[in-house]
């Protein structure tokens, strides 16, 4: 996919997460393999959870690793 959602404003990110959830749910409905269906449903649920977290005003967990990594490296000397 290669989409970079973190560059979008929060409202657009929420919309993109919802669209990804909807598309993944449709894939789940169309597949006949029970394992694949369960995996698609799990992915759709995770996309919806991301949207709900942003709507609730929580920071985007997709960006949390970058934010904590930046905080870890600020003020520390670079070691080679």
Residue 21 is assigned to a structural domain of this protein? no
Range of the domain at 35: 28-60
Q: Could you tell me if residue 6 is inside a domain?
A: no
So what's the pLDDT on residue 69? 47
Do the domain assignments include residue 53? yes
40, burial (CB in 10 Å: exposed 0-12, middle 13-18, buried 19+): buried
26 within 8 A of 47, measured Cβ to Cβ: no
Q: What pLDDT sits at residue 72?
A: 47
Domains: count for the chain:
1
User: Is 38 part of a structural domain of the chain?
Assistant: yes
Print pLDDT tens along the chain (80 aa).
Answer: 456 777 788 899 999 999 999 999 999 999 999 999 999 999 999 999 999 999 988 876 666 554 444 444 444 444 43
- Please report whether residue 70 resides in a domain: no
In a domain, 65, yes or no: no
Asked if residue 74 is part of any domain, the answer here is no
The answer to whether position 68 is within a domain reads: no
**Residue-level pLDDT at 7:** 76
């Amino acid at each position: 996919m290669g989409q970079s959602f973190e560059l979008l404003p929060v409202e657009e990110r929420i919309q993109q997460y919802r669209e990804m959830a909807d598309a993944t749910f449709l894939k789940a409905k169309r597949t006949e393999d029970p394992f694949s269906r369960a995996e698609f449903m799990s992915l759709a649920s995770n996309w919806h959870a991301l949207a709900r977290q942003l709507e609730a005003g929580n920071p985007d967990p997709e960006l949390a690793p970058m934010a904590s990594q930046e905080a870890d490296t600020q003020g520390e000397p670079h070691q080679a």
